[in-house]
Structure 1
Amino acid sequence: MDDSDSDSVADSQTTDISNSMDDSDIESVDDSHSTLDKTVDNSETVDNTNECDDTDCYPVSFLQRLQGFRSEGHLVDVTLCAEGREIPCHRLVLSACSDYFHAMFGGAHSESKKDKIEIGGVSAEALQQLVDYAYSAKITVTFDNVQALFEAANMLQVKGVEDRCEHFLMNNLGPETCLVTWALADKVLCEPLLETAKLYVLKHFEDVCIMEEFLELPVDFLKAFISDDGLHAKKEERVLEAIMHWVRHDLKERHSHLKELLECVRFSQVDREYLEGILKMDKVLAGVLGIKELVQDQTRHARPRHIQGEILVFGGRTCAYTQGDEGNNYNMYRLTLNCDCVDSSPFPPYFFHVNAACVVSSDVFITGGAYAKCYAYRYKPSVGSWSKLGPLVNEKRLFNRMVALQGQAYIVGGIGMPKWRAVYDVEVYSESTDSWNLVAPLLNEGVKDFGIASCCDKIYVFGGRTGKCTLSDQSHNTDAVQCYDPTQNVWSYAAPLPKAMEEITACTVNSKIYLVGGKLAHVLCYDAQQDCYEKMTSPLASWSDCSATTCGSDIYIIGGCDHNDDDDDDDDDDDDKVPHATVQRYNVRSNTMVLLQDFPVTIFQHISVIVPNA
């Protein structure tokens, strides 16, 4: 393909994604080589039949032969036309590559009998590239051609090229490209790309709003993201300034939209002196009908936008068990939501092992201790203080889990000492009496190594190892899901997991619970209202023994380990665990997984939570 041709096509687009790009960024794809199983036979069998197996080279030679037929005009039976260019080709080849042409040539459409067919709505160069792809299985996607190519592939239903364009744009999001990508994804109805681009815009608002592309945004797109709760604006004043900048770019045409855009500003979060000053200086803003009432209405959008928080990581191990206690993590790490390490400080000396943690009213409740006794502590991030809570009813248990529900901290399950049997007990903390009190116990079997989350005013316990497990035999996994209703103080069973599993982590977003970690091959979404499961995207790195915590629509998956063993049984040998420092962020809205910068150390079997910034 000639890059100069694609340049000329890109220049004709109303919104050109290439203006902000480096032409060196090119992604070439060759789909002509199938992945086939190869059988190697080293025996000395004599074969006089002179047969040969051409399964590797035949697809390539077949496509080359088809291209030769096209070049020679041999058996050509249709000509596609676009923008004055004529492209001779074969109906059969087009039908095999495109559902659009398959329907056109296989049905009662008039085009099925025409020798020449005008293809409207696509550029000639993009159509040529798609036809070339049908004959070669090769496509080169660049910043210059991706827009026209994506639109043409979408219209003509060439799935392979659509996927390649989506992948190219997803991997090249930046402040200069995210807005155009968002608009393009909306046009071709590509939901994953649209959500990913929109999330990028929200999280990089400060950088995006100073780009030239921002000034060309349609009003509906601008309104969609400045009204979003997830907009990352350091100050609400910046949102107001961005709106005025956009309006002034074409004041005559855009002035009529100013009032509806200003209704998206959270004036209760804007400095009052700043407002008074700008209303005196800015005649356009001051002249908006009802502006004084709008800025004085403290009830409108009273809640701040994105709640900035930080990630706290406790306990776990930084290396395999072969190194004994030297591998224990005795530090507490503080990270930004971009996973920059803000601070690392020694953990209180009374914790030999961290069991679990949950966040209640911005404070972190933690269980842990030493050997056969468990304690509970409260950590206040705002002042950096630790305080010991009242004793647990069942102090002789380890490896329990915690969850927050309706402003209270619950301790669930674990292992009872010294018999090493899974625990049924469930306890809730009372703030008024500084005590832990028993509530209804788990059903039939106690569990350890389970996933736990609160959702729709109930607690859900997913899988785990049952009460039959011992120190020497931990193979009794369960697929049971237990649900606790605090209003009735009863447990009941919910829909079981697709299979028995342990060491998974559960995170709640809205009315759904997302399961990650363990031996899951995908993110598993549990809909609490429908009581059913759905497989989502796969992880980008091994997540056995990882931690996971939620902020907004994002789930942060930190650390984990690989296993040296290749078997698929449930008896994991801790000596075979190889920890890593990978951090993955899963967004539930776009169903996409991305890698962030690594955690400061390799880590596994740890706990992480997200708390508001102090």
Structure 2
Amino acid sequence: MDARSEEDCCADKFFRRLQQLRSEGHLTDVTLCAEGKEIPCHRLVLSASSDYFHAMFGGAHTESKKEKIEIGGVTAEALQLLVDFAYTPNFNVTIDNVYHQFEAANMLQVKPVEDACEKFLTNNLSPDMCLGTWTLAGKLSRMKLSAVARRFALKNFEEVCATEEFLQLPVDFLKTYISDRALHAKKETQVLDAVMLWARHDLKHRQTHLKELLGFVCFSRMDQDYLKNILETDEVLRGVPGIRSLIEDQSRHGKPRHIQEVDILLLGGITGGYDPPIVNRDMYRLDLHGDIVDKSTLPMWLLFEEGIAACTLGDDVIVTGSDISMHISKQAWRYKLSLNSWTQLESLKKGRQKHGMAVLDGKVYVIGGENYDGDLLPDVEVYSEETNSWKKVEPLMFAASCFGIATLCEKLYVFGGRCTVQRFKTDEVQCYDSTQNTWNSATALPYALSRVRACTINSKIYLVGGDLDCVLCYNPQEERYEEMAKSLGRWSECSATVCGSEIYITGGWNRVIKNFNVKPFSTVQCYDVISDTMIMGKALPIAVYGHHTVTVAKH
């Protein structure tokens, strides 16, 4: 028997002995009570398994001397299972007991059971459970689980509304749910239908809440003929005081919710290692659940590897650069999603790879990069739609490639990358002011970084990927950086795109040390800036790195 097996065997014997002592009532010195049930046990064992009992029995609390202690706020079954866990470190979480066990473990501070319940709920989210999980996680201050459940509930609105759990929602929680601007309702009529469904479930007691709830429905997004018809046919709706004024006011002045009518377009990248690299030949259009909406083979001249850059201009996608046929391309292409067609634009003045692209004030900027020999480029070009041509503007202060790029408050930021100042990677941040056509230094990164992705949400820029092990938030107004949620997986040479208040971080790679090759990933990590939480999404259809993702409007 090896040492590890011997240790396990000794531990098993110890816990079996503890169980035997409890079952015999030997040296038991306290009885816990809940819902009329009495559970004899040992103070020492309870103190070892729970901070709550450690404080109760080790201090000046009156309970430390009592022979019987009533534990309020927990079910008898939940208390019994937690006591059993103290004597045998095994715990079985099920759909039927998880809510009661989670709440009891939180109150009695049994962290292993708390963590097991949170993991179980995270892995078993469904339309039937997400609202209850969201509520309970908020009550227990488990903010990551709360954010995961909220996101699931918002994205599966139609399915959630068909559950018994939805019909039992308290009115205040229902208001929170339907007023969330990230609610994924395909049509605003679904929100109206959900409100009426909830009200009719107990019309006698809920009718008084209808006027307030209907204030969260964006009538301005609904067909006026439909509204006229439903007012004529639905007596309950027609009977809401002031309903016609509410509809008319919202038709003129209503502020529509931010319903995310977008998909994610994935193009380019490498699906194999370096020797040899296997180029991704397909373009995928994915919805926010990770399901494939469309898949098409890229034209032969667009079979690029990892040297491209891409950005969206209106509803179209602009792609530049790449390594084609042993040279760096000057080509620029425009993809019209509505027509599913590629059009070649006027060529760049300088071919490049590993560069950056961004749209500032409605204009496409192509920045930095490398030539075929790996020389770093300072050149910056801007595209004119009117003349279908590129012109050079003020170059970078320091030539750079493999950097993060984002725009905010009419300025363009270049974060880190490979730079002429520090050849491999730098902490330099370069800022372009288009009104002055000048580059200046912005607040330096807290450490040198390359191959990061930068995404703007509201008034901040979020950096992911590369050497980072967490999200790095940059606040230009305060000129400071803050480390946010940790990465859940490797993300070097990943891509990132913004959808509402979330950043979808896709793919990446991990170096295989023994043969210096790389292993691509299909992981999707989703970061919610509001709750500062990172969760795993549905995997990509392929494992890929060095690719680009952009957010595109649905058609």
Calculate the TM-score normalised by the size of structure 1: 0.81
2:530 aligned with 1:611: no
1:333 Cα deviation from its structure 2 partner? 2.6
Q: Distance in 1 between matches of 2:473 and 2:519?
A: 27
Contact 2:321 2:351 in 1 (8 A): no
1:176 Cα deviation from its structure 2 partner? 1.2
1:375 Cα deviation from its structure 2 partner? 2.9
Q: Distance in 1 between matches of 2:228 and 2:95?
A: 45
- Could you tell me which of 555, 566, 577 is aligned with 2:503? 555
Instruction: Report the 3-state secondary structure (helix = DSSP H, G, I; strand = E; otherwise coil) of the residue aligned with 2:92.
Output: strand
2:124 aligned with 1:172: yes
Seen in structure 2, the aligned counterparts of structure 1 residues 464 and 281 have a Cα distance that, compared at 3 Å, is same
- 1:213-252 correspondence to structure 2 within 5 Å: 213-252=165-204
2:149 aligned with 1:197: yes
**Equivalent residue number for residue 336 of structure 1:** 287
Q: Distance in 1 between matches of 2:11 and 2:358?
A: 56
**Equivalent residue number for residue 31 of structure 1:** none
Seen in structure 2, the aligned counterparts of structure 1 residues 456 and 107 have a Cα distance that, compared at 3 Å, is farther
Unaligned runs of 5+ in 1: 1-37, 41-52, 470-474, 568-572
**Equivalent residue number for residue 273 of structure 1:** 225
Q: Distance in 1 between matches of 2:347 and 2:143?
A: 50
1:501 Cα deviation from its structure 2 partner? 3.4
**Equivalent residue number for residue 404 of structure 2:** 451
2:202 aligned with 1:256: no
Q: Distance in 2 between matches of 1:112 and 1:439?
A: 76
Q: Distance in 1 between matches of 2:510 and 2:539?
A: 19
**Equivalent residue number for residue 532 of structure 1:** 481
Cα-to-partner distance string for 1:193-219 (whole Å, 9 max, x where unaligned): 222212211111111111122111101
2:316 aligned with 1:368: no
Between the aligned residues of both structures, percent identity stands at 51
What letter is aligned with 1:318? T
**Equivalent residue number for residue 491 of structure 1:** 440
2:348 aligned with 1:392: yes
Seen in structure 2, the aligned counterparts of structure 1 residues 94 and 200 have a Cα distance that, compared at 3 Å, is same
Instruction: Report the 3-state secondary structure (helix = DSSP H, G, I; strand = E; otherwise coil) of the residue aligned with 2:237.
Output: helix
Contact 2:331 2:347 in 1 (8 A): yes
Provide the alpha-carbon RMSD of the alignment.
2.8
Seen in structure 2, the aligned counterparts of structure 1 residues 416 and 144 have a Cα distance that, compared at 3 Å, is same
Q: Distance in 2 between matches of 1:454 and 1:232?
A: 27
- Could you tell me which of 300, 303, 306 is aligned with 2:256? 303
2:372 aligned with 1:414: no
Instruction: Report the 3-state secondary structure (helix = DSSP H, G, I; strand = E; otherwise coil) of the residue aligned with 1:442.
Output: coil
1:87 Cα deviation from its structure 2 partner? 1.9
1:246 Cα deviation from its structure 2 partner? 1.0
1:151 Cα deviation from its structure 2 partner? 1.2
1:60 Cα deviation from its structure 2 partner? 4.1
**Equivalent residue number for residue 429 of structure 1:** 383
Unaligned runs of 5+ in 2: none
What letter is aligned with 2:441? S
What letter is aligned with 2:466? G
Cα-to-partner distance string for 1:506-538 (whole Å, 9 max, x where unaligned): 233334434333344444444555522314233
2:499 aligned with 1:543: no
1:109 Cα deviation from its structure 2 partner? 2.0
Q: Distance in 2 between matches of 1:566 and 1:220?
A: 57
- Could you tell me which of 151, 160, 171 is aligned with 1:208? 160
Contact 2:320 2:330 in 1 (8 A): yes
Contact 2:427 2:444 in 1 (8 A): no
What letter is aligned with 2:308? N
1:172 Cα deviation from its structure 2 partner? 0.9
Q: Distance in 1 between matches of 2:348 and 2:194?
A: 53
1:428 Cα deviation from its structure 2 partner? 3.2
**Equivalent residue number for residue 380 of structure 1:** 336
- Could you tell me which of 54, 64, 69 is aligned with 1:102? 54
Instruction: Report the 3-state secondary structure (helix = DSSP H, G, I; strand = E; otherwise coil) of the residue aligned with 1:234.
Output: coil
Contact 2:497 2:550 in 1 (8 A): yes
**Equivalent residue number for residue 92 of structure 1:** 44
Q: Distance in 2 between matches of 1:314 and 1:454?
A: 22
Seen in structure 2, the aligned counterparts of structure 1 residues 166 and 589 have a Cα distance that, compared at 3 Å, is farther
Contact 2:446 2:481 in 1 (8 A): no
1:66 Cα deviation from its structure 2 partner? 3.4
**Equivalent residue number for residue 594 of structure 1:** 536
1:188 Cα deviation from its structure 2 partner? 2.1
Q: Structure 1 residues 257-266 or 210-219, which shifts more?
A: 210-219
2:241 aligned with 1:289: yes
Q: Structure 1 residues 163-172 or 282-291, which shifts more?
A: 282-291
Q: Distance in 1 between matches of 2:140 and 2:521?
A: 39
1:455 Cα deviation from its structure 2 partner? 3.8
1:400 Cα deviation from its structure 2 partner? 0.8
Cα-to-partner distance string for 1:381-437 (whole Å, 9 max, x where unaligned): 2233434444435x143221112234332222201455x221223333344454444
Q: Distance in 2 between matches of 1:111 and 1:508?
A: 54
Q: Distance in 2 between matches of 1:514 and 1:602?
A: 24
Q: Distance in 2 between matches of 1:342 and 1:201?
A: 21
